[in-house]
Amino acid sequence: MILVLESNITEHQKDRIKNMLSDEKCITREIMDAGRNVIGIIGKPATSLDEFKQMEGIADAVRVTTAHKLASREFKSEDTKVKIGNVVVGGDRIVIVAGPCAVESHEQAMTIAKEVKKYGAVLFRGGAYKPRSSPYSFQGLEEEGLKILADVREQTGLGVVTEITSVSQADLMMKYVDVVQIGARNMQNFELLKCVGRMDKPVVLKRGLAATIQEWLMSAEYIMAGGNNNVILCERGIRTFEPYTRNTLDLSAIPVLKKLTHLPIIIDPSHATGMREKVSPMARAAVAAGADALMIEVHNNPDQALSDGPQSLYPEQFGQLTRDLYVIAPVVGKQLDFDYLKKSEIINNMEAKDSKTAAFIGEYGAYSHKASLGYFGEEIRPVPMKTFKDIFQAVQTGHCQYGVVPLENSLSGSIHENFDLLQEYDLKIIGEITIRVKHALIAHKNVSKNEIKKILAPPPAFSQCKNYLDQYPEIEQVPVKATSSAVRYVKDSDDKYTAAIGSTMAAKIFDMNILEESIEDNPRNYTRFAIIAKEIKGHKKVNKTSIIFSTGNQPGALYEVMKVFSEYQINLVKLESRPMLGKPWEYMFYADLEADIETPELAPAMEMLREKSENLRILGRY
């Protein structure tokens, strides 16, 4: 049962409810869910549902019908995000956990850790205690292995994940590691589940070799009932009649779990397939199916590995896999961030006076809001603004540390206003992110599509949905500034005949009904956002430079600048002209270069660009 508390409930009223439930031998868990303050009840209270509803401070009482209570989507509708140091599992960014099956030596672990970090891993896995089928196989380095893992974290900054096989190891795990793993063989070791439930460490719970999803969720319930809500479910393959692969990876478990539970999901394709060449295809499929994280075994010399060498990727293969995932992730609304840890380091090193906020246009649920979450995660607070100029002004004045502004869409082209604002304000582009735009038609609940008389959306959204809207010429199209603003307006208006075009995220935030999804003309609908700031902080890998420049009004002037890029083999990925502010019929050129223009090797090119341009300014290196 869950009790939804009134927003104005007093602490005295809340304590009275909890004390009453304690007297009735019930366990309580208080959480915030979708803006509601909720008390979850485990046990059978003597007080009835109707009696709870009549109590002061309680807005509603709802029975949880599933056997798993705390892990149930009925108990908590919002996705749980498990924080591991600076890493968040369950957010918009895909988390990659990588490393060897077993820690074999300090040199081996450190070498692999540096390699997997270089290619995008943010957590390091490695077994110190190894439950093996044969008593004669390598059983792990035990505490010495844990010490090596702790040193890996110290030297690389990667959080470490390892398996706990016995209750007696709990103190060592608390001392040395960041995440404990319950292996497949121990999924129903109930004393061990109770033990990790009492530990203040996130838990990766692997599915048993022949466990049903319900049995797996009940094991998670054991951990959560002990007080530990930081559980990550790991699908690592189940045993079927098919002998070709080591196990059968049940990818259908991902959408099933997304419906049944709020807990994040990690996929282990290494143990699922047991074959190196099958790991990458299944990892790519897992991300496409909606996994929050991946656990990949990587070894620098798998032929000599003491455990599971045949299923371990070489570091270079792992690097190719993460590049593939970087491309796939935005298709399903996720991001693979190669600068994940570096960004976190920069943010954590900010001064106390820094705002740790990012300005975006529209309301919560806008694509710009999603871009902010995809780039920064949970560490920077998104702040909505009414106009693009407001964003630039907020960053310029220091009211917000960062701004998130759209530059171009793959269907409707450039957002010219923001190119002009980049010219006007002395700000830096410090990064970029590309978001897939999937438009939905959103209206009030219990309203059908044929009742709609008016649709609100920004002009680019109308343009991107033209083919769909052409089917309904009688519906009036009303332009607004942002998609989320449209959804907010419809929500506040109580006009059941008006709909909005927006994101499914906005529909969820404003508790609105989705009449139809994916109404954009082309599924390859992506928007590229720039991250702007007053100054560049920290040192990240640079592979792109944005510049603006102007040339003299004479034949061949632009050609002379283009020759510089050609001579120095600099790839130009964007070139756009914009009118110069206050100078009619004169133009600035905006260019994106696939190079770090400030490297010593390109210093001569930079000098030539300055000679051949009347004005030249570097907007950002990122």
Encode pLDDT of 14-38 as tens digits: 999 999 999 999 989 999 988 889 9
User: Number of helices and strands (H, E) in the chain?
Assistant: 21, 29
Most distant pair of Cα atoms in the chain: their distance: 89
DSSP 3-state of 302 = helix
Model pTM?
0.89
| Band of pLDDT at residue 337, cut at 50, 70 and 90 | very high
What is the C-alpha to C-alpha distance for residues 136 and 73, in angstroms, rounded to an integer? 44
Map out the domains of the chain with their CATH numbers. Answer: 2-62 (3.30.70.1140), 95-332 (3.20.20.70), 340-437+526-533 (3.40.190.10), 440-517 (3.40.190.10), 545-621 (3.30.70.260)
Judge whether residue 345 has pLDDT over 90.
no
What is the C-alpha to C-alpha distance for residues 300 and 323, in angstroms, rounded to an integer? 19
Sequence-distant (≥ 6) Cβ neighbours of residue 405 within 8 angstroms: 361, 368, 388, 391, 392, 415, 418, 421, 529, 530, 532
- Give the relative orientation of helices 190-198 and 213-225 as an angle to the nearest 10 degrees: 40
Exactly one of 527, 551, 565, 589 is catalytic; name it: 527
Clarify whether 65 is annotated catalytic: no
pLDDT in tens, 56-114: 999 999 999 999 999 999 999 999 999 999 999 999 999 999 999 999 999 999 999 99
The residue to which tokens 């009549």 are assigned? 54
What is the C-alpha to C-alpha distance for residues 406 and 408, in angstroms, rounded to an integer? 6
Sequence-distant (≥ 6) Cβ neighbours of residue 53 within 8 angstroms: 60, 61
Q: Distances in Å between the alpha carbon of 4 and those of 8, 344, 368?
A: 12, 35, 31
Q: Residue 305 in contact with residue 101, Cβ under 8 Å?
A: yes
pLDDT in tens, 308-320: 999 999 999 999 9
The residue to which tokens 């004479």 are assigned? 554
Sequence-distant (≥ 6) Cβ neighbours of residue 137 within 8 angstroms: 130, 307
The residue to which tokens 């140091």 are assigned? 85
Judge whether residue 480 has pLDDT over 80.
yes
Q: Distances in Å between the alpha carbon of 162 and those of 72, 98, 165, 183, 204?
A: 26, 11, 10, 10, 9
Clarify whether 156 is annotated catalytic: no
Exactly one of 529, 549, 565, 589 is catalytic; name it: 529
Judge whether residue 371 has pLDDT over 90.
yes
User: Residue 582: its pLDDT value, please?
Assistant: 79
User: Residue 497: its pLDDT value, please?
Assistant: 95
